[in-house]
Structures are given as C-alpha cells and as structure tokens.
Amino acid sequence: QVQLVESGGGLVQPGGSLRLSCTASRSIFTIYAMGWYRQAPGKQRELVAVFTSGDRTNYADSVKGRFTISRDNAKNTVYLQMNSLKLEDTAVYYCNAVLAGVGGKYDYWGQGTQVTVSS
C-alpha cells in the first residue's frame, strides 16, 4: 500500500502558473503508474497527466503543451507544472498511484488539492 499527500493548489489568475506536488509514503521507483486526475463541479473525474510503464507519459488533450509531469525519485515525489492556466482548469486535483502485485493492480488516491483559476 501507499499513502499520497498533495500540495500546491490555490488561487491563480488566467494565464498564470502553479506547481502541484504529490509525495508518496514509499519509493515510487517501482510503482506501475503515477500521476494526476482532476474533478470539476458536476463533472466526472478525468485523467490529466500520468507516468506509465517505463518513462512514458500520457496527457489529456486539453492540457498538452501547457502542463508537464515530472518526478524526483529520491524525494518520492511527482510534480505537475501547470502553465497558461485557463478558467476551465478549475477543479480538485488528485494524485493517483497504481501498484502492481500478486493478484492484480491496485489504485490509491490522495485527498485532493483545490485549484481555482479566476480573474
């Protein structure tokens, strides 16, 4: 199992930037997948950006070219650099980790951090 803690959310103006952090309670080196999802009011939770097998990344079309996912294995931390923020980026952002083990894969979630884009 793994515990995930997000930080870095807040209020930002359109066109501004924020950097989110997700720190895991264990090494992330062997985690199967790890990254970020978000959920806006009245909408389903959606993928934002994740690391998958190897060093591959997967981004939602709506954030490509604006958001960048990165990691620091020594700090057990994954980051989401968000640039050129738009009003529609307003959501609760959740860190996610998928662990692979005997019997299958298992999802873990952080508590979420609020990102509000407003002028």
CB 113 within 8 A of CB 93: yes
Residue 49 is predicted with a pLDDT of: 98
How confident is the model at residue 103, as a pLDDT? 83
Element (DSSP H or E) covering residue 74:
none
Compute how many other C-beta atoms are within 10 angstroms of the C-beta atom of residue 10.
11
The predicted structure's pLDDT at residue 43: 96
* Interval 68-80 mean pLDDT: 94
Cα–Cα distances in angstroms (integers) from residue 71 to residues 64, 65, 86, in the given order: 18, 18, 24
Q: Give residue 53's pLDDT.
A: 79
94-103: pLDDT as tens digits: 999 998 878 8
